[in-house]
A and B are shown apart, each in its own frame.
Chain A
């Protein structure tokens, strides 16, 4: 499991982050270091152990009834928008 510059670029792209060319090496190093560090987990015998996603996994998932209790708050939903018009959020034009 090795991380190279291309892998870092791919991660950055998936994360929608830009890692400047001059910082790529540093990031390769950091991620390599952490991946290497966590390698030690491979020493733990986890045969037959199910992954634990949440410590409250045995609780009953709460459910809501099918009732309209929310919405109709457009002004509040849009209040923090960097750009909005006519009740819509605006983003740079997407070419489909």
Chain B
């Protein structure tokens, strides 16, 4: 039974249904695997007792015939989701020992579906980062290594802990959150499937906010089918979130027909710059398009002319919203307090010590952008460009059903690479994920191949129309089956 951690969610549900193993056994296997992979630093809070308790309850439900759709499946929970009675910090010092007295809608839905939470996964502080290097709890290590090179590679961010955990078998699936690429980049770097559904598809209630108009909950799994199963469990209208759409959630698994005949797939020429796209990524992209064409899809070259403006637009809007969203961390009601002689001094002491460098940097920038004098030229301008970007996507979707693009310009990079020192360079890693974030479109990153140069996984992104997760998952499913990529975890402690 040692290989239980290698199963996909779909396989595990099958095995549980057939009583081949119990939820407790499945959970125990994962807890053991978590022990063996401490070096990844994927979890910041582990909840083995709670997990075993829930697994036991799951087995009882299954015995009674009342099992939910994901009953007994061990999952990792990004530390961005408030979990009742379980420390939640967004990997920030400022939320030291914060124990939420409430459960986020998404984690509640997953619990209602019967999942077993193993713990809270590491992430960039307040989801601000692309490499999981800004966590107060230290960096996460990517289970993958370059060919013939033992150096520490980043898992991507901000959902780096979730990605590493899923990729290495420390859970069967995990939640992520995506503001500008925080699910898709790590999914690509860690060779897993990461889906950011349409903005409004999942409730943001109880999810610690980074940039409210962009934040969206999503899934991280090893297969597209698992994504379909998990997304269905997570998604849905929530009257507690005013931006959550009242749109029915379909059965995503049914959408996985394996058929792309007649599907019009757009290839945006702006996503293929001369500079800033690794040739191996380009190669996987082109090869995949060819294979899809061979499978009956129609490949259509499209243009999204404002793509180059997406990054600056994003880096105005996101920090502006963040600067306000993070004002509540003031040492009064929860989290860290560093005392001072006056209220303002206490605020300053607390926030200066509580926030990490990158977060402070973004708060400062966001504050600046909202100031009189910058608001019109920066913030409002960015919002106008955002609308233009949306319109371009709308136009494109008149001609195509989905868009195929790289998820990240490169494969996973080293923790100590020079690029990690310059925030502006780091921001460039979001170049392919940010446009669809700004447009609120559903996008899934799916492993499509590996780099010839370093052997690392490469993910491609399928971007769809609003609320059409079904078509992107169907497409991703076909890519997955054509890619020849393993859906088994890369177990760092060996088998």
Contact = CB atoms under 8 A, between A and B. Distances in A.
A59 B346 contact: no
Interface string B320-332: 0001000100111
B388 A49 contact: yes
A16 B360 CA distance: 10
A56 B368 contact: no
B199 A94 contact: no
A56 B315 contact: no
A79 B368 contact: no
A41 B309 contact: yes
A37 B365 CA distance: 12
A5 B245 CA distance: 44
A46 B365 contact: no
A72 interface: no
Nearest to B382: A41
Given A17-B351, A30-B361, A34-B424, A81 B334 contact: yes
Contact of A16 (B351, B361, B380, B466): B351
A91 B346 contact: yes
B61 to A, nearest CB: 28
Contacts of B330: 16
Interface in B151-180: none
Nearest to A10: B371
A83 B383 CA distance: 40
Interface string B9-27: 0000000000000000000
A67 interface: no
**Size band of the interface chain B makes with A:** 35 or more
Contact of B388 (A11, A46, A95): A46
B101 A76 contact: yes
B137 interface: no
Contacts of A33: 424
Interface in A74-88: 76-77, 79-83
Nearest to A3: B368
A78 B458 CA distance: 47
B381 A42 contact: yes
A92 B312 contact: no
B345 interface: yes
A16 B344 contact: yes
B47 interface: no
Given A19-B364, A56-B200, 14 more contacts: A1-B374, A17-B348, A18-B348, A18-B349, A41-B382, A51-B383, A52-B383, A54-B213, A55-B213, A56-B245, A80-B97, A81-B332, A92-B340, A93-B343
List the 8 closest A-B pairs by CB distance, nearest first.
A55-B440, A51-B383, A82-B337, A80-B334, A46-B384, A52-B387, A76-B101, A38-B312
Interface of B: 97-99, 101, 199-200, 213, 239, 242-243, 245-246, 306, 309, 312-313, 315-316, 323, 327, 330-337, 339-349, 351-352, 355, 360-361, 363-365, 367-368, 371, 373-374, 377-378, 380-388, 390, 423-424, 438-440, 466
26 contacts: A15-B363, A16-B344, A19-B364, A30-B423, A31-B368, A33-B424, A35-B374, A40-B309, A40-B312, A41-B382, A44-B388, A46-B381, A46-B385, A55-B439, A59-B246, A80-B333, A81-B332, A81-B333, A82-B331, A89-B333, A92-B339, A92-B340, A92-B341, A92-B342, A94-B342, A94-B343
